[in-house]
Amino acid sequence: LSAVNFDTTSFPALKNDLYLRAARGEEAERAPVWCMRQAGRYLPEFRAIRVENEFFKVCRAPALATEVTLQPLRRYAGLLDAAIIFSDILVIPQAMGLEVQMVPGKGPHFPDPLRTPDDLLRLVDRNSGFSVDTELDYVYKALTNTRHALDGQVPLLGFVGAPWTLMAYMIEGGGSKTLALAKTWLFAHRTAAHDLLARVADVAAQFLIGQVRAGAQALQVFESWAGELSPQDFAEFSLPYLALIAERVKAVFPDVPMTVFAKGAHYALEQLATETLFDVISLDWTIDPKAARARVDAALAIRTDVVPRSVVLQGNLDPTILLGDEQTIRERTAEMCQSFGRSGHIANLGHGMMPSHDPERLRVFLETVHKSSAELRR
């Protein structure tokens, strides 16, 4: 591991700005490509680090977080157009006072989750002398150090979990099939639910602003459990907080591209495009890119009351296609690029890499995006 560098006053010049140009809706010679969970257990070099180091220890040690962030960049040299900082969405619940463990083979576990609205008293925030910037300084250090170590190869992305997804984890205490406990709050403790969502949104916005100051060049908000909500409940419990986060960050950093990934919420595409300031909407694989493009453009076209804006789409290959043979990966990736069209696309999977993925199959995906997207735009 190389020496750490926490200087935020001067960073190496960016050599590949394809992702940033595409995210801002500018012309690009091909679609940039990166993958959610591109650093992770499918990589043997990641598993090797994890043998000696517990998950949150990697997040908290800047030199380790940098090393793991760079692993896919090294392996797929020249093929990835962005790096995403190694961390987790659950660092926010931790910072707000909840214990989170990462149980090998099982995922996140909260030994003492929020059960009733009275438990909100256990959370810390601004009003109880808590500072996001102090509590999550280790993520800022990881970002600053990684930005230096990247040496301008590609831009560095920061991220947070969205309020509804984080609330769900904080109440369920881990993964859940039905989210019955979290949903009980929505329908039996509605005021407390909004209180919690607002507090998480406040922390998330501050945290994103801090991440940009620390070196993040673009941001993504993960609403992984949007698809568990009805359109009506998404409009009440998710969308306003997503919109608020984008608004707060854009007020400070209007030029930093922001992406929203509301998994399963394609019913809300129009609202995400017209009622939030996100530059990029990330799609899962359950929607046809052509249809998504048409709906977003139609929604934007009838909004004559707002400053005209373009929305870029990201995605959306079904990650399980990477379990298929190389020919199938090539065909489906080329079809995906075609379906998104000649502009306004950042190539990605429709969700994250899975531990069972073969790293060489990801290479086929990345190479195919480079080739077919460039051909398409020639």
Q: Which of 18, 84, 168, 208 binds ligand CP3 (CB under 6 A)?
A: 84
Catalytic: 24?
no
> Which position among 19, 42, 140, 169 bears the catalytic label?
169
For the chain, list the strands marked E by DSSP.
Answer: 83-84, 101-103, 107-109, 156-161, 218-223, 258-262, 280-282, 312-317, 345-349
Among 76, 164, 207, 222, binds ligand CP3 (CB under 6 A): 222
Q: What value does the CA radius of gyration of the chain take, rounded to a whole number of Å? A: 20
- Which residues have CB under 8 Å from 92's CB, separation 6+? 136, 160, 161, 166, 200, 203, 204, 207
Q: Which of 32, 62, 93, 108 binds ligand CP3 (CB under 6 A)?
A: 108
Q: How far apart are CA 18 and CA 51, in angstroms?
A: 35
Active site residue 169: yes
Cite the beta strand spans of 140-196 per DSSP E.
Answer: 156-161
| Annotated catalytic residue within 37, 75, 213, 332 | 37
Q: What is the DSSP string of 76-137?
A: TTTT-S-EE-S--TTHHHHHTT---EEETTTEEE-SS---SGGGGGG---GGGT--HHHHTH
Among 159, 207, 285, 340, binds ligand CP3 (CB under 6 A): 159
Neighbouring CB atoms inside 10 A of 65's CB total 24
Report the residue from 80, 89, 168, 214 that binds ligand CP3 according to the rule CB under 6 A. 89
Are 120 and 195 within 8 A, CB to CB? yes
- Closest approach, Cβ 118 to ligand CP3, in A, equals 26
Q: Mapping DSSP to helix (H, G, I), strand (E, B) and coil, where does residue 243 land?
A: helix
Catalytic-labelled residue, pool 88, 125, 202, 279: 88
d(CA 250, CA 260): 14
Give the integer Cα–Cα distance in Å for 270 and 334.
26
Spell out, one character per residue from 305 to 334, where the chain touches ligand CP3: x when CB under 6 A holds, - when not.
------------------------------
Piece of the chain touching ligand CP3 by CB under 6 A; list 83-91, 183-191, 251-259, 333-341: 83-91
Cβ-based nearer residue to ligand CP3, 93 or 289: 93
Quick check: is 267 catalytic?
Answer: no
The interface mask with ligand CP3, positions 340-369, x = CB under 6 A, is ------------x-----------------
Could you say whether residue 168 binds ligand CP3 (CB under 6 A)? no
Is 47 catalytic? The answer is no
Beta bridge partners of 347: 33, 315
Phi, psi of 101 (to 5 degrees): -110, 150
- Give catalytic status of residue 17 as yes or no: no
Only segment of 24-32, 86-94, 281-289, 291-299 that touches ligand CP3 (CB under 6 A) = 86-94
- Regarding 156 and contact with ligand CP3 (CB under 6 A), the answer is no
CB of 262 to ligand CP3, least distance (A): 10
Stretch in the footprint of ligand CP3 (CB under 6 A) among 4-12, 80-88, 181-189, 364-372: 80-88
Whether 63 and 145 have beta carbons less than 8 Å apart is answered as yes
The residues in 23-62 that bind ligand CP3, with binding defined as CB under 6 A, are 36-41, 50, 55
- For the bound state, the minimum distance from the C-beta of residue 154 to ligand CP3, rounded and expressed in Å, comes to 13
Return the active site residues. 37, 41, 50, 88, 169
Binding site for ligand CP3 (CB under 6 A): 36-41, 50, 55, 84, 86-90, 102, 104, 107-108, 159, 222, 224, 352
